[in-house]
């Protein structure tokens, strides 16, 4: 019995090896064969196989709830790369492998838009390094390999963001991203040193920190470090810069899974290494609510389709944090069932967001390639030119708007359920706090629906608004196939959510959506049959009324700015839009207009009030530091002398 089990585990290990080594070889292949046109295709095929094997590996680990340890390589005895996969890690590997699988297929069509072979190959090679590093961060057993692969992930994604470096805005985005991602690492490094100092171990499983002042500091450092990478407001600014700048397959990976790796880190270290406190739960919950609502409100104003999606990532990270916060809060009040509902809601939303957001990014990438613009005001009518892409984007839009019976609904339902049951808490003030959060969360999800009516409606429906949109062609087969896998998983995870949760041992959390879906389909068919039998079957097509002008033209369509105008007006205090309108008249009764000027100024609140002041302080300090370096040799000798004296005094004092 034991032997068979051990053998089974060995096969599992092999699946993991096949996956990681396959990704590594794929990256190597297109890096070495960068001159040959076919290398990228071979690498992507390798990547597809590797992702499949990782998918199988993680699904089995998840199902059997088995923890697997894979020691691999040691540089010096105390610092070694070693890997350990438990259920949490397996869950994230599952997410990474399914998204990477689809994006790899998608990429084999997408990279054809780059003319140069070298570009195709380097994009592929870097992408595989990026995927591999994410898999290995999640499977890391100790802080050393965690940080090593975390940095590899940061660097490879930085180069990928800079991939179209010829454009000026890309260089700005890349720099912004680089600074933020390194800042995140600094916080993590500090937290890890702090934890190591207290526990004396680099092994994640052996690090246990009970409640104390130090653990609170560690929490703040970890929350900042992972929060920057996940894109929590106010550390979110890099997302709307980096996502539009990078190639669309990379945006799909970054938004779909890289920010989820930060969520993994947060769960791993805050829930398992530290001992969570009630106040941390409240902090996480509040950060989640703020990120969710501001993310969607900013998204409503965007007309750049990729930036719009980037803001929605911030919103969804907020929703995940709401679930995580609820877990900690309910745990502190010893309500394990509600706590579990929050945590599973958060985890499931992590998965769902990974799926529908990469679906939206890949389909948006196809659209951007077809129309040569990212501005949705110049699109329109694409549902006829690109019917498959439109249908796939539609599934993504319905899922992200949390509409039943798709997957986004299920995870939001769990979080809603947990919030609605907050009357179980024996703390009136906290209950009211959670209800306020509930109201804002509801607003968020309704605004998300509004935003995706805009995104889908303006992009795909009605008449093309530009010459490019008129000429748009359907995306290539691999692009549709890759996105199609993601869309299919969105539907399956929604409709069969009840069955899936029963399978892994968490039944009775949610209503059976299969019943609801079947009923909807049944009534749809019934209504269709009734109409076919009793109503007039005559149909006619005609032009839309052009308001009395001879024929209708694209200028009469509602625009994206028009669509979001009422919402922008209602929330104008959040956007901090400043409207100025000065008029001058010839006469005193103000009837003959002479001249005037009008100005609408959008304030980039976080950039102007948070990022720039910090940047200015940093700049000021570095100018001061560089002044010290300007002086000659004598000054340097003086510095050394002062340092030695200071060290001597220090040594004397401590002795």
Partner 1 sequence: MSASFIEYGILNIIFAVFVSPLFISMIKKVKALAQGRRGPSILQAYYNTFKLLKKETVYSTNSSWVMRTTPYVNMAVMCVAALFVPMILMPAPVSSIGNIILFLYLLALAKFFMALSGLDAGSTFGGMGSSREMTLSAIIEPVIIVVFAALAFAMKTTNMIEMFLGILKSGALFSNPVLILVSISLFIIIIVESARIPVDNPETHLELTMVHEAMILEQSGKNLAMMEWSHAIKQMLLMGILINILFPVGIATELTLAGIAVSALIFILKASVLSAIIGLFESSIAKSRLFHLPDLFMIAMFFSLATILIEVFA
Q: Is the Cα dihedral 463, 464, 466, 471 positive or negative?
A: negative
Considering only residues 357 through 396, tell me which ones interact with partner 1, judged by CB under 8 A: 380-381, 383-384
Buried b (16+ CB within 10 A) or exposed e, 512-547: bbeebbeeeeeeeeeeeeeeeeeeeeeeeeeeeeee
Binding of residue 512 to partner 1 (CB under 8 A): yes
Binding of residue 168 to partner 1 (CB under 8 A): no
Considering only residues 560 through 599, tell me which ones interact with partner 1, judged by CB under 8 A: 562-567, 569-570
Given 32, 211, 477, 515, the residue binding partner 1 (CB under 8 A): 515
Binding of residue 417 to partner 1 (CB under 8 A): yes
Given 554, 574, 575, 605, the residue binding partner 1 (CB under 8 A): 554
When the beta carbons of 544 and 590 are compared against partner 1, the nearer one is: 544
Considering only residues 479 through 498, tell me which ones interact with partner 1, judged by CB under 8 A: 498
Burial class, 625, CB count within 10 angstroms (exposed 0-12 / middle 13-18 / buried 19+) = exposed
The encoded tokens of residue 85 equal: 């996969």
When the beta carbons of 203 and 565 are compared against partner 1, the nearer one is: 565
Listed ranges 65-73, 244-252, 308-316, 527-535: which one lies at the site for partner 1 (CB under 8 A): 527-535
CA 515 from centroid of its chain's CA atoms: 31
Nearest distance from residue 227's CB to partner 1, in Å? 26
Indicate the length of the chain as a whole number: 655
Give the count of residues interacting with partner 1 (CB under 8 A).
84
Binding of residue 226 to partner 1 (CB under 8 A): no
The encoded tokens of residue 31 equal: 């890096």
Given 1, 6, 535, 655, the residue binding partner 1 (CB under 8 A): 535
Binding of residue 88 to partner 1 (CB under 8 A): no
When the beta carbons of 128 and 300 are compared against partner 1, the nearer one is: 300
Strands 578-585 and 593-601 come out as antiparallel
Our CA angle for 518, 521, 524, nearest 5°, is 150
Place of tokens 């991203």: 177
When the beta carbons of 226 and 460 are compared against partner 1, the nearer one is: 460
When the beta carbons of 163 and 452 are compared against partner 1, the nearer one is: 452
Binding of residue 28 to partner 1 (CB under 8 A): no
Binding of residue 534 to partner 1 (CB under 8 A): yes
Binding of residue 523 to partner 1 (CB under 8 A): yes
Place of tokens 């109503």: 535
Give the chain's radius of gyration (CA, Å).
27
Nearest distance from residue 232's CB to partner 1, in Å? 22
When the beta carbons of 52 and 449 are compared against partner 1, the nearer one is: 449
Strands 79-85 and 68-76 come out as antiparallel
How far apart CA 490 and CA 497 sit, in angstroms, is 10
Given 12, 173, 398, 485, the residue binding partner 1 (CB under 8 A): 398
Binding mask 425-464 for partner 1 (x = CB under 8 A): ---x--xx--x--xxxxxx-xxx-xx-xxx-xxx-xxxx-
Given 31, 194, 404, 491, the residue binding partner 1 (CB under 8 A): 404
Considering only residues 621 through 650, tell me which ones interact with partner 1, judged by CB under 8 A: none
Secondary structure element (H or E) that encloses residue 446, with its range: helix 428-460
**Are the C-beta atoms of residues 186 and 251 closer than 8 Å to each other?**
no
CA 31 from centroid of its chain's CA atoms: 28
How far apart CA 415 and CA 343 sit, in angstroms, is 9
């Amino acid at each position: 019995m034991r032997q068979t089990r051990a053998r089974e585990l060995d096969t599992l290990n092999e699946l993991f090896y096949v996956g990681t080594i396959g990704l590594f070889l794929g990256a190597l292949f297109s890096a070495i064969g960068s001159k040959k046109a076919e290398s990228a295709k071979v690498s992507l095929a390798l990547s597809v196989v590797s992702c499949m094997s990782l998918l199988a590996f993680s699904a089995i680990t998840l199902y059997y709830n088995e923890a697997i340890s894979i020691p691999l390589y040691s540089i010096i005895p105390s610092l070694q790369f070693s890997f350990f996969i438990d259920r949490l890690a397996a869950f994230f590997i599952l997410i990474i492998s399914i998204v990477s699988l689809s994006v790899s297929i998608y990429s084999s069509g997408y990279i054809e838009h780059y003319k140069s072979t070298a570009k195709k190959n380097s994009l592929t090679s870097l992408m595989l390094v990026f995927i591999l590093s994410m898999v290995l961060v999640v499977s890391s057993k100790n802080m050393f390999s965690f940080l090593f692969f975390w940095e590899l992930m940061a660097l490879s994604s930085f180069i990928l963001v800079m991939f179209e470096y010829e454009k000026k805005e890309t260089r700005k985005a890349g720099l912004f991203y680089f600074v933020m991602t390194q800042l995140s690492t600094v916080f993590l490094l500090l937290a890890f040193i702090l934890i190591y100092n207290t526990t004396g171990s680099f092994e994640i499983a052996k690090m246990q920190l009970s409640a104390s002042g130090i653990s609170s500091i560690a929490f703040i450092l970890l929350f900042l470090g992972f929060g920057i990478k996940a894109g929590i407001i106010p550390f979110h600014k890099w997302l709307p810069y980096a996502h539009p700048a990078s190639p669309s397959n990379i945006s799909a990976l970054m938004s779909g899974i890289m920010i989820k790796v930060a969520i993994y880190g947060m769960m791993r270290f805050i829930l398992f290494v530290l001992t969570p406190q009630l106040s941390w739960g409240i902090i996480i919950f509040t950060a989640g609510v703020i990120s969710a609502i501001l993310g969607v409100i900013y998204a409503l104003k965007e007309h750049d389709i990729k930036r719009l999606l980037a803001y929605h990532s911030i919103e969804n990270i907020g929703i995940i944090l709401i679930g995580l916060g609820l877990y900690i809060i309910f745990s502190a009040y010893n309500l394990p069932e509600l706590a579990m509902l929050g945590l599973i809601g958060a985890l499931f939303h992590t998965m769902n967001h990974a799926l529908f957001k990469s679906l939206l990014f890949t389909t948006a990438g196809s659209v951007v390639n077809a129309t040569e613009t990212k501005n949705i005001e110049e699109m329109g009518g694409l549902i006829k030119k690109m019917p498959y892409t439109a249908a796939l984007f539609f599934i993504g839009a319905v899922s992200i708007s949390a509409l039943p019976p798709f997957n986004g609904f299920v995870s939001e339902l769990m979080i809603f359920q947990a919030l609605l049951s907050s009357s179980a808490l024996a703390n009136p003030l906290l209950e009211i706090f959670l209800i306020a959060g509930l109201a804002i969360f509801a607003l968020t999800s309704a605004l998300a629906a509004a935003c995706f009516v805009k995104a889908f409606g303006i992009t795909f429906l009605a008449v093309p608004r530009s010459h490019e949109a008129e000429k748009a062609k359907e995306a290539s087969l691999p692009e549709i196939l890759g996105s199609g896998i993601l869309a299919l998983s969105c539907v399956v995870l929604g409709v069969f959510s009840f069955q899936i949760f029963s399978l892994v041992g968490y039944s009775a959390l949610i209503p059976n959506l299969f019943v609801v879906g079947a009923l909807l389909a049944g009534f749809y068919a019934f209504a269709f049959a009734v109409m076919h039998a009793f109503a007039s079957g005559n149909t006619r097509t005609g032009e839309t009324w052009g308001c009395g002008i001879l024929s209708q033209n694209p200028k009469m369509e509602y625009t994206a700015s028009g669509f979001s105008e009422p919402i922008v007006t209602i929330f104008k205090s959040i956007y901090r839009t400043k409207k100025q309108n000065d008029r001058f008249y010839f006469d005193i009764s103000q009837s003959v207009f002479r001249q005037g000027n009008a100005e609408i100024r959008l304030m980039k609140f976080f950039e102007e009030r948070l990022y720039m002041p910090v940047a200015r302080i940093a700049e000021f300090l570095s100018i001061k530091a560089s002044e010290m370096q300007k002086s000659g040799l004598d000054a340097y000798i003086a510095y050394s002398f002062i340092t030695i004296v200071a060290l001597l005094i220090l040594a004397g004092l401590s002795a």
